[in-house]
Amino acid sequence: MNHPRTILKTAAACALLAGTAAAFAHVTLPRGGATVGSDYNAAFRVGHACEGAKATTGLAVRLPKGFLLSDAQARKGWKLDVQKNAGDGEVRWTAESPQAALPAGERAEFVLRGKVPGTPGPLWFKVLQTCDVGSIDWAEVPASGSSTAGLKSPAARLDVVAQGVATVDVRDGWVRQSVPGQSGTGAFMKLTAPTGTKLVGITTPAAGVAEVHEMKMEGDTMKMRELPGGLDLPAGQTVELKPGGNHVMMMDLKQALAKGSTVPMTLRFEDAKGQKSSLELNLPVGAPEGADTAAPAHQHKH
């Protein structure tokens, strides 16, 4: 069952949370985006072979206009061909033998590097996957917007965002509802950063204070405290904030949060180079279907 996605306030951030089809496409780029004019490692993930095939024998990536290719990563046992024509370049990997081909049950990444355009917006990489039997052209692009919902073979999408907008992908965000007189509640989400970064701050008009808290057992008591130094987001790894674990603690609530309403929230990030960025969200109040909502008893430790 697909969980509701976090709703973003800015158009650039909205592109980071596309329809569910992209999440289940079988040639995709990692979650998260790229900042305008930045260098980007495009790791195309192959999830399975073509229908009825035993292996993937080739992958050809057509480069979108505005993406400036710098190099491509060779694979052992595969021939690499690179065409750098402006606006219609292509990178092609071809297995040199049946033994080198990618078995249907295995996943792998095919990596190229380049610079993204200086203007925000989605970039669409069309990818031809060739197999021992048949082929699939992952080349469908939506007529408008960036949602690939309803497309059978969507192209791989990279969201290019403006300076200062975080490239972190946020999914399955929600806030626990509260009742009148309740002073605090929790917010939960899954975060994936394409490059290593750290969540260093949170603000929301719904609460006087919002912090990332950790929960730890001390003796037979579960204690909760602010996570010192912020929350690390290793490159390409999904970090989950969830009930019973690390989570966003909202304190000094300004009013009760009713199920079905939304809570504005701004996340602030800082990468290893000290570059700061932020992401504005609107989180739905109420757990999505199937979410673990367990909230163990705990005590604050100051």
What does the pLDDT read at residue 26?
A: 79
Do both 184 and 294 map to the same domain? yes
What does the pLDDT read at residue 84?
A: 80
Mean pLDDT lowest for which of 17-26, 131-140, 158-167, 251-260?
17-26
**Among 59, 169, 154, 160, which residue's Cα sits nearest to residue 112?**
59
Domain of residue 252 covers 169-300
Do both 146 and 177 map to the same domain? no
- The predicted model scores a pTM of 0.76
Domain count, the chain: 2
For the CA atoms of 144, 146, 147, 153, the dihedral, rounded to the nearest 10 degrees, stands at 90
Residue 299 has pLDDT above 60, yes or no: no
Do both 182 and 152 map to the same domain? no
CB-based contacts of 159, cutoff 8 Å, min separation 6: 12, 15, 16, 32, 33, 34, 121, 122, 123, 146, 167
Mean pLDDT lowest for which of 31-35, 69-73, 191-195, 215-219?
215-219
Do both 203 and 295 map to the same domain? yes
Confidence of residue 19 (pLDDT cuts 50, 70, 90): very low
Do both 180 and 154 map to the same domain? no
What gap in Å lies between CA 209 and CA 221, rounded to an integer? 24
Structure tokens at 205: 């008009």
Do both 111 and 185 map to the same domain? no
- 60 bridge partner residues: 92, 128
Do both 193 and 67 map to the same domain? no
For residues 25 and 193, which has the higher predicted lDDT (pLDDT)?
193
Residue 232 within any structural domain of the chain: yes
Residue 128 has pLDDT above 60, yes or no: yes
Residue 11 has pLDDT above 60, yes or no: no
CB-based contacts of 247, cutoff 8 Å, min separation 6: 186, 187, 188, 212, 213, 215, 241
Residue 41 has φ and ψ, to the nearest 5°, of: -95, 110
Residue 1 within any structural domain of the chain: no
CA–CA distances in Å: residue 3 to residues 189, 190, 290: 11, 11, 8
CATH number of 75's domain = 2.60.40.2230
Q: How much of the chain exceeds pLDDT 70, in percent? A: 85
Given the structure tokens 């950063």, which residue do they identify? 193
CATH number of 216's domain = 2.60.40.1890
CB 18 within 8 A of CB 284: no
Confidence of residue 87 (pLDDT cuts 50, 70, 90): low
Confidence of residue 20 (pLDDT cuts 50, 70, 90): very low
Residue 298 has pLDDT above 50, yes or no: no
Of 138, 161, 184, the one marking the end of a domain is 161
Residue 4 within any structural domain of the chain: no
What does the pLDDT read at residue 149?
A: 78
pLDDT, tens only, 31-68: 899 999 999 999 999 989 999 999 999 999 999 999 99
Q: What is the mean pLDDT of the chain?
A: 86
**Among 96, 122, 108, 105, which residue's Cα sits nearest to residue 43?**
108
Mean pLDDT of the 188-212 span: 95
Do both 97 and 226 map to the same domain? no
What does the pLDDT read at residue 116?
A: 95
Do both 130 and 203 map to the same domain? no
For residues 15 and 177, which has the higher predicted lDDT (pLDDT)?
177
Do both 144 and 211 map to the same domain? no
The per-residue b/e assignment along 63-94, b for 16 or more CB within 10 angstroms, e otherwise, is bbebbebeebeebeebeeeeeeeeeebbbbbb
Do both 89 and 36 map to the same domain? yes
What does the pLDDT read at residue 150?
A: 84
pLDDT, tens only, 211-268: 999 877 667 776 778 888 899 999 889 999 999 889 999 999 999 999 999 999 999 9
Confidence of residue 146 (pLDDT cuts 50, 70, 90): low
